[in-house]
Structure 1
Amino acid sequence: MAKQARGYKSSMMVDFEASFGEAPKKKAGYVLPMNSNELVKNQTLIESDTITNTRNDSQPALGRVSVEGDIVMPADYVAIGYMLKALFGAPVTSGEEATKTHTFTVGDDQPSMIVEKGFPDLNKYIRYTGVKINTMKLEYGQDQEMTISYNVMGAAREQSGTAYTSSPTVVPLQRIAQNDAYIKIGGTESRIVKEGSIEINANLDGDQYVVGGGGVRGDIPEGIMKVNGTVKALFTDTEWLDKADNGESVPVEIGFKRADGTTVSFTMPTVQFEPFDAPISGPAGVTVDVTWRAFSADGTSIVTVVVKNNQVSY
């Protein structure tokens, strides 16, 4: 009987391409922790209307290749840097050896990756090229494992009986706990937020198919970066409601920190609340659901992500 691959034996490896769809001259390879990897290749069969003097359908043709899917990873303080590099580009790194600060800001170009799903119990490796992150989303304040979901697009897929590299770097997991979270609104750390979310959207254009490549994408250009999110909070006054009604903006920082100084923070200098109200749903405490959107007032980065850890570089 054939042996079935086991998910717990699988792995995810990434490396950064030299240019879109082009492997680097020197392979690196980073094995990142994951909860799931649903990146897949889809290719339609194009139906034929050819008349053949019978009622029997004729052979279809292969259509365009669509490589896309969701990757869910545990939120952590180290591996997140590789995914942020894929979303923003290489960070500016400073600090001493044991306390490095990596600062990610919005740039003009977004790198592409090689992503490999490894099935070592079958000696099979499925490799995707030209992969870019389209959206990154995380939710905080809930009583469950904190994860980050990445929606990605790619160009092509290949299969191999050997791994991309025999000596990858296995990135250790330094998990972010729900209790590590904090949020600052208007420069002050809030004590009324129950939970929230943040989504960063690169607005990738996945419709750039070219002739001669076997129906694959010739590029996946990045678009205008959007940053938005939600907050559920205790209703204690009308300050936020007034700001929303008046179209006022406030700085918002969503972050995670440990006692040893390890941190990850997302800072949006200008955030506007969507107008909302305070519903009375029963006799219990009143809460409000607020949707917000960040914007750039002067051309500076719409969001700055700072990671402080002992990682030398990304």
Structure 2
Amino acid sequence: MARAQGARAQMALAFETVYGTPPASGFTKMPFASTTLGAEQPLLNSELLGYGRDPLAPIKDAVTADGDVVVPLDAEAFGFWLKAAFGAPSTTGTGPWTHEFRSGAWTLPSLSIETGMPEVPRYAMYSGCVLDQLTWQMQRSGLLTATARLAAQGETVGTTTSAGTPAALELKRFGHFNGSITRNGSALGNVVSVDITYANNLDRIETIRSDGRIDGADPSIAALTGSIEVRFADSTLVTQAINGDPCKLEFAYVLPSGESFTFTVHAVYLPRPRIEISGPQGVQATFDWQAARDSVHGRMCTATLVNDVETY
């Protein structure tokens, strides 16, 4: 008997035309490291009395479908997650193409995502997926991945795939070695690590339905937060925090072949940190920053992806 193995797992996604309705075609094979995407339906214990000490049968509660997908930051497939986070990009060029994703969209596209374990076989289609949060970390070494948190409408399980033969993308993965950070256009030094979290703060529409599913997930006020851990070598960031002035931070990755990903946060505000001397080693400071809408650009952030994909 075949047993499920993560090494043989597959994932394909496509954007929906109608929320909660998987498209008949147009799926793309996606690289991923792990996923917790799934549906669950808890049981409610019976509260009724008068039938002895043994409980009556439990009652099914509402269905919850959500989870995380850990994906690589790469030059092509990551554009699908950026579109899910920010909406459709503005694309220019004739190849390579420049895709500019902007924060602040009132509506977000929904996706259908199928995870497959062909040896069982089990194919789970998650429809009505909306991206709630996208996070990643910059550091000196290690594998560069991002975590996409999704809220889905429901799960449909079958023994055959509903995604057909998904289109394949060329994997051109960014690494921490390809990363750089600038502040107001100048390189920001002495940075140990950076955490970046963009959240759409979805509002689930939990109406009464016979199938127990949600009616949708609408974005509310977005949030862009994170932390910067630096070796304390100068007072540039501390002075900014004390003065309360914003700065522009740009996190960029560039491959030798020309593909690039640039995440620009137009107005970053820093809190005044506690500077501790914990021992004889170097002194480090952590700034838990947050971003806001920049009046000049009219948005909070811009994600720019340059690659050989013509459209998303």
Alignment match, 1:173: 171
The match for 2:207 among 202, 205, 210 is 210
* Distance in 2 between residues matched to 1:287 and 1:53, nearest whole Å: 64
Q: Deviations over 1:3-37 (max 9, x none)?
A: 2111111111111111321233x521111100001
Contact 1:29 1:164 in 2 (8 A): no
Tell me whether 1:290 sits opposite 2:283 in the alignment: no
SS at match of 1:114: strand
* Counterpart secondary structure, 1:221: strand
Q: Give the TM-score taking structure 1 as reference length.
A: 0.95
Residue in structure 2 matching 1:159, options 157, 178, 184: 157
Specify the alignment match of 2:72 in structure 1: 74
Per-residue displacement from partner, 1:112-133 (whole Å, max 9, x unpaired)? 1111111111232011111111
- Provide the rounded CA distance (Å) in 2 between the counterparts of 1:92 and 1:35: 29
Is 1:56 matched up with 2:54?
yes
Q: How much does 1:52 deviate?
A: 4.1
The answer to whether residue 243 in structure 2 is matched with residue 246 in structure 1 is yes
**Which among 263, 270, 275 is matched to residue 273 of structure 1?**
270
Write the mapping of 1:223-242 to structure 2, written as runs, cut at 5 A.
223-242=220-239
CA contact (8 A) 1:19 1:111 kept: no
Q: CA separation in 2, counterparts of 1:303 and 1:164? A: 36
Matches within 5 A, 1:180-199: 180-199=178-197
Cα drift, residue 213 of structure 1: 3.8
Distance 1:304 1:213, change over 3 A: farther
Q: How does 1:119-130 map to 2 (within 5 A)?
A: 119-130=117-128
Distance 1:103 1:258 in 2: 18
Contact 1:115/1:128 (8 A) holds in 2: yes
Q: Kindly indicate whether the alpha-carbon contact (under 8 Å) linking 1:194 and 1:232 is maintained by their aligned counterparts in 2.
A: yes
- Name stretches of at least 5 consecutive residues in structure 1 with no aligned partner: none
What is the SS of the residue equivalent to 1:83? helix
CA contact (8 A) 1:15 1:114 kept: yes
SS of aligned partner of 2:41: strand
Query: In the aligned structure 1, how far is the partner of 2:166 from the partner of 2:77?
Result: 14
Give the equivalent residue in structure 2 for 1:257: 254
Deviation at 1:150, TM superposition (A): 1.1
CA distance in 2: counterparts of 1:289 and 1:209, whole angstroms: 39
C-alpha separation between the residues in 2 aligned to 1:129 and 1:84? 18
Q: Following TM superposition, by how much is the alpha carbon of 1:291 offset from its aligned partner in structure 2, in angstroms?
A: 1.3
2:126 alignment partner, SS class: strand
Structure 2 unaligned residues grouped into runs of 5+: none
Distance 1:252 1:73 in 2: 23
SS of 2:240 mapped into structure 1:
helix
Identity %: 25
Q: CA deviation at 1:178?
A: 0.7
* Equivalent pair of 2:192/2:231 in contact (CA under 8 Å): yes
Q: Distance in 2 between matches of 1:192 and 1:261?
A: 26
Query: Residues 25 and 164 of structure 2 are in contact (CA less than 8 Å); yes or no, is this contact kept in structure 1?
Result: no
TM-score, normalisation: structure 2: 0.95
- 1:15-164 to structure 2, matched below 5 A, reads 15-24=14-23, 26-97=24-95, 99-106=96-103, 107-164=105-162
Partner amino acid, structure 2, of 1:287: Q
**Does the CA contact (< 8 Å) of 1:241 and 1:277 recur in 2?**
no
Q: Aligned residue pairs: how many?
A: 310
2:274 and 2:51 map into 1 onto residues whose CA distance is 67
Q: 1:278 Cα shift?
A: 2.4
Following superposition, the deviation at residue 142 of structure 1 comes to 3.7
- Counterpart Cα distance in 1 of 2:309 and 2:210: 38
Q: Within 1, Cα distance between the matches of 2:94 and 2:196?
A: 30
Tell me how far apart the structure 2 counterparts of residues 269 and 21 of structure 1 sit (CA, whole Å): 34
